[in-house]
Amino acid sequence: MDVPNLSFGNNSYTKLTFGDLYDIKNGINKSKEYFGKGNKILNYMDVNKSVKNDENSIKGLIQISDEEYERYNVQNNDLFFTRTSETSEEIGLTSAYIGNSEKCIFSGFILRARPIKEFINSLYFAYYLRSPKMRNEIIKLSSITTRALISGKNLSTLNVKIPDIKEQEKVANFLSLVDKKIKLMEKTLVLYERFAEEFIKNIYLNLNTSNKVKLRDIVDSYVSNLSISNLDDNEGKYPLYGAEGVVKYINFYEMKNQYISIIKDGAGVGRLNLCNQDSSALGTLQCLIPKKEFDLHFIYYYLKNLNFKKYIVGSTIPHIYFKDYSKEKLNIPPLDIQIKYGKQCLTLEMKKKIIENAIVSLKQYKKYLLQNLFI
């Protein structure tokens, strides 16, 4: 996906204030008994989470009078801002309404900006005003007391640069395509995760074997005495694993081969990770090393399907002990079958990672565009 060839330069855009282009209005405020049925209402999170909304994306409902609809209605090409938040990073976020003019109004936690000129594409402005440079300018116009707040009066003074309508449409359409690709990939990831989870679960539910082996006879257990505080000045090329994965790289390793780690205590207790060879693990992790006649990946994905919660003890700081969960009995097929199933599970995991990386790349690409399309 190539960046569009933008034609506007120093002399092809117009400098104006936002108030020259839009009329800004506060939304409706009503007590809670009016919500849950009636007509659609565009809410704070609709604007916060999406740069574009339409009649299908709005789920909130509210009972309103005809007079209220006349004052607070939502129309195609309206632009909306989040008006208030606990932090300045979430005020002034923009979203364009591009859709049918159903009977819909907007919440008092957002502002409506309605074009007063004909050469305005509000989807362009929704992207433009989410660019890093313009976000900084919007935040400067906000005030913070107990909450961050931005007013229509202050937004009206915002200095903006506007290209011609064709250029606005070109940029808006291109960025919209990028967003559609991101959403499609995110939906693909959700569906793939469901498929992979069920596929792996069925492998282990349908193991046709009577060979039950206790976990302690399948893996060796090891706990390091390493702590992150003692390694502050140690830098190198070998991964050091903690509860959230690799925490840093050090100049030595304790584990020559791949192994399984499990968090021993704290919020993530019982969570598993597959750790690379030539690495080390902090003492907060239990390292499980499969014995010679057992396949690492088969055991790892098997353990991911077990319920470790029944072995957790402690209320203030939950713990899990190898001496307890090592008694768990696993159905173990011959080694060749273990290797086959282990490879299948690993392949599914790798394909999932490819989709995740594609989503990350697309989001980075969009970030780059927002930084560079609007000078």
pLDDT (0 to 100) of residue 102: 78
Q: Which domains does the chain have, with CATH numbers?
A: 14-162 (3.90.220.20), 164-208+333-375 (1.10.287), 210-331 (3.90.220.20)
Condensed to tens digits (0 to 9), the pLDDT of residues 221-278 reads 999 999 999 999 999 999 999 999 999 999 999 999 999 999 999 889 999 999 999 9
Closest CA to 196 of 359, 350, 358: 350
* The 3-state secondary structure of the chain, one letter per residue: CCCCCCCCCCCCCEEEEHHHCEEEEECECCCHHHEEEEEEEECHHHHHHCCEECCCCCCCEECCCHHHHHHHECCCCEEEEECEECCHHHCCCEEEECCCCCCEEEECCEEEEEECCCCCCHHHHHHHCCCHHHHHHHHHCCEECCCEECCHHHHCCCEEEECCHHHHHHHHHHHHHHHHHHHHHHHHHHHHHHHHHHHHHHHHHCCCCCCEEEHHHCEEEECCCCCHHHHCCCCCCEEEEECCEEEEEECCCCECCCEEEEECECCCCCCEEEECCCEEECCCEEEEEECCCCCHHHHHHHHHCCCHHHHEECCCCCEECHHHHCCCEEECCCHHHHHHHHHHHHHHHHHHHHHHHHHHHHHHHHHHHHHHCCC
Strand partners, 190: none
Task: Kindly indicate the confidence band of residue 9, based on its pLDDT and cuts at 50, 70 and 90.
Answer: very low
CA torsion, ordered 234, 235, 238, 240, to nearest 10 deg: 50
What tokens does 327 get? Answer: 């008694």
Whole-angstrom distance, CA of residue 103 vs CA of residue 40: 7
What pTM does this model have? 0.80
| Distance between CA atoms of residues 64 and 53, nearest Å | 21
CA distances from 150 to 91, 94, 113, 321 (A): 7, 12, 13, 52
How confident is the model over 167-196, as pLDDT tens digits? Answer: 999 999 999 999 999 999 999 999 999 999
| pLDDT tens by residue, 295-333 | 999 999 999 999 888 999 988 899 999 999 999 999 999
Whether the CB-CB separation of 40 and 58 falls below 8 Å is answered with yes
